[in-house]
Amino acid sequence: MNRKFFVFFFVLVLTLVLAACTDDSDVDGSGDESAGGEEGTDENAAGGVGSGDLNIAMMDDVVTLDPHGSNDSASAQVRRNIYETLVFQETDMELAPGLAEEWEATEDDVWNLKLREGTTFHNGSEFTAEDVKATLDRVRDTAVASEVAFLFEMIEEVEVVGDYEVNLHTEFPFAPLPSHLAHNTAGIMSKDLIDQDYQAALDEAGVDMTADEYYGLRDEGGSEYEDVAEQISEHTSGVIGSQADGTNHLMLQSRSSGEETVLEKFDDFQGGERNFETVTFRVIPENGARMAELETGGIQVAGDVDSSSAVRVAEGADTELVEQESVRMSYLGFNTEKEPFDDVKVRQAISYAIDRDEIISGVYDDMGIAATGPLAPDVWGYDENLEGIDYDMERAKELLSETDVADGFSTTIWVDEDPQIIDTAVYIQEKLAELNIDVDVEQFEWGAYLDRTAQGDHDMFILGWTTVTADADYGLYALFHSNSHGATGNRSFYTNEEVDTLLDEGRTEPGEDARFEAYSNAQQILIEEAPAAYLFHTNFALGVNSSQVSGVDLDPVGNIRIENVSFNE
């Protein structure tokens, strides 16, 4: 099978259902995931021949500037340049100082962090421990109902020890906490911006209370806090969703939803010199258009380079391909709360019917490897001894014959606008026809796709999950714990008490060996029960106009690293 066949087949048989709504149509300024720490300090920053305006094109638009408002990769690309995190994740995934210069577990359930002094926010206010407390308290607030709260829910209290020191008290020993603090959604916002957001929410909800009074109520807990939190829940994020106030090297200049987000250099950034004046993130969904803009110099960086464009970029006279192995897992998810996908044999049959190697060679031009389970090989907790579900059409037919839908059924696969994901769905559509399963492929705009799958409206869907922390807790808890149903990540709406227990053990056990055993056992169950068909781990790739700029990098998470960019004269 080859890509041309998929495209031809797609034209003949694919029914596209276009959904044209978006989460951030009312947002004037918006951003993305992945906060940065001391990127490009003086010893690492590019020497730079010149400076200028950098233009980056992405396939998908930013969902929101609010770090607590979404967990999508498109938003990460922008937000990580606005907000710094307490712990910084280097390009090689190693952890380094960010807004916290030092951190250590002083007790099993207490982490002490010494904060960087002399740092200012974009609004000119000084960064202190109060901003850390305000940020981490907000993401755990039920009024905010953040889909990334699972990353920080183990934190019971943020204790301000001094202006530049905090203690994080956790409900249980939690070894991966520094990695979670390096996640883009842990980007530190100014308390001033958070105060504005809460005050606006309180005023809009008609609650006669100041933000500080609400914080006191929240600290006490109880029914009065719960009542007020419910009243303001629909109004939070209004200010933060349209504004931004971080400490990183870029600050918000303007945003046009669906078109571009423009950031400008923050002159008081203390993490090293930068060689750009502005950075514009343009939304260009069509691959060919992005490549053409790259070649003509309309953009200097093209993200989301698909495999069919990779050779074109690599061999271009003025373009360079940057490719990186990833910690991303792409999967076909099943809505396990819907018939017939509540039957494990139906899910197993579909999983056996998919030849992952054919997809990698035919759709992705060998830019990736087949997945045996939900974790990529470079993620801590991955067990290389586990065997996945390999392609076996006879076994697939046998399993389906043992179900209530032995003669087949009609269903749908939902996809976003990524052409390779569409081609993957078309391939699966063809293979499932051999099981008398009639599949319609329905396509949605990115924001609508995330909303609808979070609500559980789907049958099957194709999505990817990048284990940003490189730890099994993040790669498994969000996708498969019953507490994570919906927008948090478990869009399969999978529930298994044994898996819940193992994932809880994995995040609470202090010993590395005990954690690994828990995650290994959980992976074995997840392979057998197949709440998703684990497909492949693709490589990330971006294109650079090498005649104009140099120093652009890409990490295993898929973040475009621009701290060392310089312009060629």
- Judged against a pLDDT cut of 80, whether residue 569 lies above it is answered with no
User: What band does 325 get if pLDDT is binned at 50, 70 and 90?
Assistant: very high
User: Is pTM, for the whole model, over 0.95?
Assistant: no
Fold category of 83-242 in CATH: Dipeptide-binding Protein; domain 1 (3.90.76)
Which tens digit of pLDDT belongs to each residue from 401-417? Answer: 999 999 999 999 999 98
Question: What class, spelled out in words, does domain 31-82+248-325+540-569 have in CATH?
Answer: alpha beta
| pLDDT tens column, 110-156 | 999 999 999 999 999 999 999 999 999 999 999 999 989 999 999 99
- What is residue 30's predicted lDDT score, i.e. its pLDDT? 26
Q: Where are the alpha helices (DSSP H) in 234-343?
A: 238-242, 287-296, 307-314
- Residue 478: pLDDT above 80? yes
pLDDT at 164: 98
Domain residue extents for the chain = 3-19+326-538, 31-82+248-325+540-569, 83-242
SS3 content of the chain, % helix, strand, coil (to 5): 35, 25, 45
Alpha-carbon separation of residue 249 from 63, 75, 376 (angstroms): 21, 17, 31
Amino acid identity, position 234: E
Q: Model confidence at 50, in pLDDT bands (50, 70, 90)?
A: low
**Residues β-bridged to residue 541:** 323
- C-alpha distance from residue 116 to each of 40, 44, 83, 130 (Å): 16, 19, 14, 13
Q: Work out the mean pLDDT of the chain and round it to a whole number.
A: 90
556: preceding bond cis by omega (within 30 degrees)? no
Supply 213's token pair.
């009074």
pLDDT in tens, 487-531: 999 999 999 999 999 999 999 888 899 999 999 999 999 999 999
pLDDT single digits (tens) 174-201: 989 999 999 999 999 999 999 999 999 9
Report whether 333 contacts 532 (CB < 8 A).
yes
Q: What count of other Cβ atoms lies within 10 Å of the Cβ of residue 376? A: 23
* Fold assignment, 3-19+326-538: Dipeptide-binding Protein; domain 3 (3.10.105)
Task: Report helix, strand or coil for 89.
Answer: strand
Name 535's Cβ contacts closer than 8 Å, sequence gap at least 6: 329, 330, 331, 332, 354, 356, 359, 370, 371, 424, 462
The average pLDDT across 544-559 equals 95
Q: Indicate if the pLDDT at residue 15 is higher than 70.
A: no
**Helical spans, DSSP H, in 266-406:** 287-296, 307-314, 344-352, 356-362, 393-401
Q: Give the pLDDT of residue 536.
A: 96
Query: What are the start-end ranges of the H helices in 414-511?
Result: 419-433, 446-455, 472-480, 497-508
For 524, residues 6+ apart whose C-beta sits below 8 A from its C-beta are: 383, 386
Which long-range CB contacts under 8 A does 363-367 form with residues at least 24 apart? 363/3, 363/6, 363/307, 363/420, 363/423, 363/424, 363/427, 364/307, 364/420, 364/536, 364/538, 365/3, 365/307, 365/308, 365/310, 366/307, 367/307, 367/310, 367/323, 367/538, 367/539, 367/541
What pLDDT score was predicted for residue 49?
Answer: 54
**59-80 tens-digit pLDDT:** 999 999 999 999 888 999 999 9
Question: What CA–CA distance (Å, rounded) separates 562 from 275?
Answer: 10
Does residue 28 carry a pLDDT above 90? no
Nearest to 252 by CA among 331, 178, 304, 190: 190
